[in-house]
Chain A
Amino acid sequence: MPNIREIFETMEYGPAPESAAPVLRWLDERDRRFGLYIDGAWRAPVSGEFFPTINPANGQTLAQIAQADAGDVDLAVAAARAAYPAWSALSGHTRARYLYAIARHLQKKSRHFAVLETLDNGKPIRESRDIDIPLVARHFYHHAGWAALMAERLPDQAALGVIGQVIPWNFPLLMLAWKIAPALAMGNTVVLKPAESTSLTALAFAELCAEVGLPPGVLNVITGDGRTGALLTKHPGVDKIAFTGSTEVGRIIREATAGSGKKLSLELGGKSPFIVFDDADLDSVVEGVVDAIWFNQGQVCCAGSRILAHEGLAPRLIAKLKARMETLRQGDPLDKCVDLGAIIDPVQLAKIHELVERGRGEGAAVWQPTWSCPTGGSFYPPTLLTDVEPAATVAQVEIFGPVVVLLTFRTPAEAVALANNTRYGLAASVWTENINLALEIAPKLKAGTVWVNSTNLFDAAAGFGGYRESGYGREGGLEGLWEYTRPRWQAERLAARPDLPQKTSLSQDPPAPAAPAAGPACPPAIDRTPKMYIGGKQARPDAPYVIEVRSASGRRIGEVGHGTRKDLRNAVEAARASSWPRANGHLRAQILYYVAENLSARAGEFAARLHALTERGLDEGAREVEAALERLFYYAAWADKYDGQVHNVPSRNLTVALPEPLGVIGVLCPVEAPLLGFISCVAPALAMGSCVIAAPSERWPLCATDLYQVFDTSDLPAGAVNIVTGRARELAATLAAHDDVDACWSFVADDHQLSQLVERLSTGNMKRTWVDHGLGRDWFDPKQGQGEEFLRESTQVKNIWVPYGE
């Protein structure tokens, strides 16, 4: 060891270790062996099987963790189920007290949790101490508040029930907090499965919950590998799955839960762009890159792993980055003077190495600092890849390590195109001193979070979550609460119908036609041939076949085209090309009012058509038309009023939550109210600026096809609404699988398999789904047939962080 005199000359940094002794003692006191936390008690796993958890910085075993199997999962879900009625019935204030107590205890023991996290995960103690754990406490404080405010702010929402939560290893306790805090605040009970390589802080948290007196069964922690997670996600006693992890596993979970009626939120992978314009503060950009990709060794789902630099400044930026990389310090994660710790395990390390070599093989210039990377644990040095083109593997796939690629652009438009040239859409970072440019670019980026002149900022008050294959659902803020609640009427209906959701079909075929009624006396009426409506034009089906439409009693009313894949393909292309998303709210309102005006002018005709189809009487038909008009007015009213929020985060910036149009939505419309149901699905999507591919009900599509003349006369831009008639299942299969459709809704209550089909086939691009699982809706009841739920499903929230100050 050098002496003071020598150091006085060299002015080197020395070791500054945080002591692990108190935490190791804590582990020893538990015999370095942890059971499962179920129903407020610690139990050995049914299997008796344990596995080691390793310190990635030195390869040493820290403790033995229980491997939960099906029996354990059953017990945990049963405990959560048993605890649910009492917990959800507590007043918001009472739940707030529990969450507040959890937050306080976390703060009191913050160093314990920080050291334990660093030991188990390998992240630098600076990060666990200064970032992870403070955010964890903040999350519980913030959601204690939401528990107290739930009755007032979400009066028509109810808890879901038992939540199964599966979290990753990169931010073990923080992801736990993001999952548990809102779930408990809204009155749900939880079964949580931490990642098998980082279970320790979740187990310590379970201990903490016992200390604060959280009622048994409200939180259950089961440990184990992916098998345990799979058992939990498939468990029939779970009402919702919340998952953070890879897109690959998210896809498996979506498939496994399809048709089960479980609510699902997924926070998946990313390849987030980090855009540097030529007027940025370049030295601050360099520190931004440090925070973007060398935070947590780059094992961050929203890591800014793709630098998009203006071509003219790229050489300067690269030089500055290399100089900065030389001053980064990597080593023992418990050392208070390191910037990078260890990679989670040798498997991940090998994957990073392999991808970097692949990048090199594909022509990238690989640069690493001259200092030598530590050995003896899973360490990988900070790495910069230049000469990377969009076609390179390393520019497309998530590396999940301290590796950043740099590409160049010429113009702002090209920067946006490159930024969006990815399947992912979790986050983005924009660097410019020009507010005009920043605020122009931010809304154009397909990402759930956009940081202006900053990166990796998080707070409990701001929603976080992805676009595209980065998943759906938000965590944090008001927008996160919807993931843990459902409309009260649905909760009540589900309670009354324990058979739901149904997984079998009631009838696969439309009702058998009755004997044809006697034809009309001559002369015959002029034949009307409803067509498809695609891109603002009436279009014949690609394959000219027709489907007969019969009335309730079986009387033949007419025919519609039998739409196929190609009609839907055309419709999606028309929707993509539509100018509708660029129409402002006021204009969208005007056009919806105009649709109502023109429908009203033909009210008698539509009432007659409804009567002819449903044979419920002309009065009933008139009532449905009237309800449809009211609904159009309702969404016209909303078109310029569904505002975003400015979130109250603790740092000095505007954090703006923008509800953005979801994009292109495919809708399978309900049959029970052929006109009102169609309008109820299409109008909210239009009001929010999305475009729609609507499949009218298979049985009674004629009201919808009659509507295109109304649309044509109402100044609705081409492609905003596209109508494709046909067999619901065929249309659903194509729409749900289409990779350029952003969401697929199904309200065909009499065919429950459609819900399953849509959810299962949505995994290609991980599109959002909204299906009815056979629950049905009373479209005439405003609580069920309209409301903000429809607006939320028509939009996705983007949080834009704009720090300010000169």
Chain B
Amino acid sequence: MAGTRNPGMPLDLAWVHDVRENLSALERRAQSIPGRRSVKKEWQAAWLLRAITCMDLTALNGDDTPGRIHRLCAKARQPVRQDMLDALGVGDLQLHTGAVCVYHAYIEAARRALADTTIPVCAVSTGFPHGLSPLRQRIDEIKASVAAGAQEIDIVITRAHALTGDWRALYDEVAAFREACGEAHLKTILATGELATMRNVGRASLVCMMAGADFIKTSTGKEGVNAIIPVGLAMVRAIRAYRERTGVDIGFKPAGGIRWAKDALVWLAMMKDELGDPWMRAPLFRFGASSLLGDIERQLEHHITGRYSADFRHPMA
């Protein structure tokens, strides 16, 4: 994670109300990125490897068990077959994912499975995915997760605060979450698919950063619409605005629905062009994904052999 953390700032409502997002223009820009930015051959392989290092490998299912989490962690430690890494000339990089992301119940299991690595454990929290349990419980949940060893906490915001324009309430809530996190890093999930407008996305992004978020994150993966590029644009532009005003770098995590290697390249290109190279690395950029890795492995093997690959050739999580 970033060296210096976001200290936050007092809620600046004038700035929040000044946020403007033109949906049609955002969509046009979003639509042109894949056409403008194409990454091929060695570059594509290198970018996909980088994407893996930015991945919060995720299991957030009702039927998860300790055994399933062990598999997930094993995959996080060795996301790509060693023979492939050797063939790509990066066998000694000790490539691993950015983090693993689980529910509170499996922090302990994950922590043990990753004990001898630097891979952080990330826990979703605060009544994920809807965030509608009592505030006290949500704060206690964060504290419990941090106590259990989570180094990153992905909270969900109360959508109602954004939908009703109660930015003070949102600010106070996130600030309380940040305090509960202590040393753990705070990612705020906006659940953009439920915020209705781009303007709400832009404003909620800004309020979360003001309240001390280290990362802003698009989705829980449980909303009808998850990470899409126009929303991503609105959020990274909010990060840019916050940086211009405060000098503080905030991370970004698109999550949900990112399944294909090709999509990962588009997200990376957007980060590079909109925010710059530091936002193509794990301290400031994460994908929240579960099935993306499988497609990246297939594409990497295709790069090595020239033959299209199959999923069963790669160890599952």
Give Cα A806–Cα B277 distance, bound, in whole angstroms: 30
7 smallest A-B Cβ distances: which pairs? A14-B43, A284-B25, A803-B24, A7-B46, A336-B38, A805-B23, A16-B38
The yes or no answer to B273 lying at the interface (CB within 8 A) is yes
B307 touches A (CB below 8 Å) = no
21 contacts between A and B (CB under 8 A): A4-B89, A5-B89, A7-B43, A8-B50, A11-B47, A11-B50, A11-B277, A14-B39, A14-B43, A15-B40, A126-B35, A126-B36, A279-B20, A281-B20, A281-B21, A284-B29, A287-B28, A291-B28, A433-B20, A454-B24, A803-B25
Contacts of B50 in A (CB 8 A): 8, 11
Asked if B189 is at the interface (CB within 8 A of a chain A CB), the reply is no
Within the complex, what minimum Cβ distance (angstroms) separates A788 from chain B? 34
In the complex, are the beta carbons of A287 and B29 less than 8 A apart?
A: yes
Are the CB atoms of A287 and B277 closer together than 8 Å?
no
Asked if A805 and B24 sit within 8 Å, CB to CB, the answer is: yes
CA distance A281 to B199 in the complex (A): 10
Nearest chain B CB to A566 CB, angstrom units: 51
Interface range, A side: 35 or more
User: Does chain A have a CB within 8 A of B45?
Assistant: yes
Taking CB atoms and an 8 Å cut-off, the chain B residues in 41-93 that contact chain A are 41-43, 45-47, 49-50, 88-90, 93
A283 to B49, CA, bound (A): 30
Q: Is A496 in contact with chain B by the CB < 8 A criterion?
A: no
Instruction: Give the docked Cα–Cα distance between A291 and B29 (Å).
Output: 9
> B262: CB under 8 A from chain A?
no
B88 A4 Cβ-Cβ under 8 A: yes
Give A336's nearest chain B residue, CB to CB: B38
| A12 close to B (CB within 8 Å) | yes
Known: A1-B42, A14-B43, A287-B25. A339 touches B20 (CB 8 A): no
Contact yes or no, B42 A4, CB < 8 A: yes
A4-B46, A433-B22, A803-B25 are known; give 13 further A-B pairs, CB within 8 A: A3-B42, A7-B42, A12-B43, A13-B272, A14-B39, A281-B21, A281-B25, A283-B237, A291-B28, A803-B24, A804-B24, A805-B23, A805-B27
Instruction: Determine whether B246 belongs to the interface, using a CB cutoff of 8 Å to chain A.
Output: no
B26 at the interface (CB under 8 A from A): yes
A652 with B22: CB separation less than 8 A: no
| CB 8 Å contact bits of A458-484 with B (1 = contact, 0 = none) | 000000000000000000000000000
Q: How far is the CA of A4 from the CA of B304 in the complex (A)?
A: 12
Known: A4-B45, A4-B90, A287-B29. A652 touches B38 (CB 8 A): no
Asked if A337 meets B38 with Cβ closer than 8 Å, knowing A4-B49, A287-B29, the reply is yes
**Cβ contact of A280, chosen from B20, B37, B197, cutoff 8 A:** B20
Q: Does A327 interact with chain B (Cβ within 8 Å)?
A: yes
Which of these, A3, A14, A279, A433, contacts B40 with CB under 8 Å? A14
Task: For residue A478, give the distance in angstroms from its CB to the closest CB of chain B.
Answer: 25
On whether the beta carbons of A284 and B26 are closer than 8 Å, the reply is: yes
| A12 to B268 CA separation, bound complex (whole angstroms) | 11
Q: Hey, which chain B residues are within 8 Å of A806, CB to CB?
A: 23, 197-199
Q: Does A680 contact B (CB under 8 A)?
A: no
Q: Is residue B264 contacting chain A, with contact meaning CB distance below 8 A? A: no
Say yes or no: is B280 at the interface (Cβ < 8 Å to chain A): yes
Q: What is the CA–CA distance of A240 and B1 in the complex, to the nearest angstrom?
A: 68
Contacts of A3 in B (CB 8 A): 42, 89
> Contact at A13–B39, with CB atoms within 8 Å?
yes
Complex CA gap A2/B25 in Å reads: 36
User: With a CB–CB cut-off of 8 A, which chain A residues contact B27?
Assistant: 805
Closest to A285 in B: B25
For residue B212, give the distance in angstroms from its CB to the closest CB of chain A.
24
A282 interface residue per 8 A CB criterion: yes
How far is it, in angstroms, between the C-alpha of A274 and the C-alpha of B285 when the chains are bound?
Answer: 35
A803 to B24, CA, bound (A): 6
- In angstroms, Cα B24 to Cα A287, docked, is 12
Residue on A nearest B37 in the bound complex, by CB: A337
Interface residues of A in 325-341 (CB under 8 A from B): 327, 336-337, 339
Does any Cβ of B come within 8 Å of A453's Cβ?
yes
In the complex, A13→B40 CA distance in Å?
A: 9
Smallest CB–CB gap between B117 and chain A, Å?
A: 19
Minimum Cβ distance to chain A for residue B100 (Å): 22
Q: Which residue of B lies closest to A803 (CB)?
A: B24
A130 on interface, CB distance cutoff 8 Å: yes
In Å, the complex CA distance between A5 and B277 comes to 16
Q: Which residue of A lies closest to B271 (CB)?
A: A11
Q: How far is the CA of A681 from the CA of B93 in the complex (A)?
A: 83
Chain B residues with Cβ below 8 Å from A45 are none
In the complex, which residues of chain A have a beta carbon less than 8 angstroms from the beta carbon of B273?
Answer: 327
Is A8 within 8 A of B37, CB to CB?
no
Contact A453 B39 (CB under 8 A): no
Q: Chain B residues near A454 (CB, 8 Å)?
A: 24-25, 28
> Is A653 in contact with chain B by the CB < 8 A criterion?
yes
Q: Does A164 contact B (CB under 8 A)?
A: no
Q: How far is the CB of A338 from chain B (nearest CB, A)?
A: 8
Decide if A425 is an interface residue (CB 8 Å cutoff). no
Q: Which residues of B contact A304 (CB under 8 A)?
A: none
**A16 CA / B49 CA spacing, docked (Å):** 18
Measured between C-beta atoms, what is the minimum distance from A337 to chain B in Å?
A: 5
B24 touches A288 (CB 8 A): no
| Closest chain B residue to A804, Cβ basis | B24
Give the CA-CA distance A126 to B20 in the complex, in Å. Answer: 29
- The answer to whether A13 touches B197 (Cβ under 8 A) is no
A1-31 near B? 1/0 per residue, CB < 8 Å: 1111111100111111000000000000000
**Interface digits, B195-231 against A, CB 8 Å rule (1 contact, 0 not)?**
0011100000000000000000000000000000000
Residue of A nearest to B234 (CB): A283
- Report which residue of B24, B35, B39 has the largest number of chain A beta carbons within 10 angstroms of its beta carbon: B24
For the complex formed, measure the closest distance between the CB of A474 and the CB atoms of chain B, giving whole angstroms: 24
A8 touches B20 (CB 8 A): no
Chain B, Cβ-Cβ closest to A9: B46
> Within residues 253 to 290 of chain B, which ones have a CB less than 8 A from any CB in chain A?
268-269, 272-273, 277, 280
Q: Mark A719-753, 1 if CB is under 8 A from B, else 0.
A: 00000000000000000000000000000000000
CB contacts (< 8 Å) of B269 on chain A: these are 13
Minimal beta-carbon separation of A328 from chain B (angstroms): 9
Distance of A282 Cα from B244 Cα, bound (Å): 14
Measured CB to CB, the nearest residue on chain B to A651 is B24
Inter-chain contacts of B26 with A (CB < 8 A): 284
- Please name the residue on chain B nearest to A8 by beta carbon: B46
Residues of B within 8 A of A291 (CB): 28
Chain B residues whose CB sits within 8 angstroms of the CB of A13 once the complex forms: 37, 39, 43, 269, 272
A453 cross-chain contacts in B, Cβ below 8 A: 22, 24-25
CB distance from A494 to the nearest CB of B (A): 47
Min C-beta distance of B195 to chain A, whole Å: 11
Q: Scoring A residues 642 to 660 as 1 if CB is less than 8 Å from chain B, else 0, what string do you get?
A: 0000000000110000000
Which residue of chain B is the closest to A291 with respect to CB atoms?
A: B28
A279 to B20, CA, bound (A): 8
With the chains together, A567 CA to B50 CA distance in Å?
Answer: 77
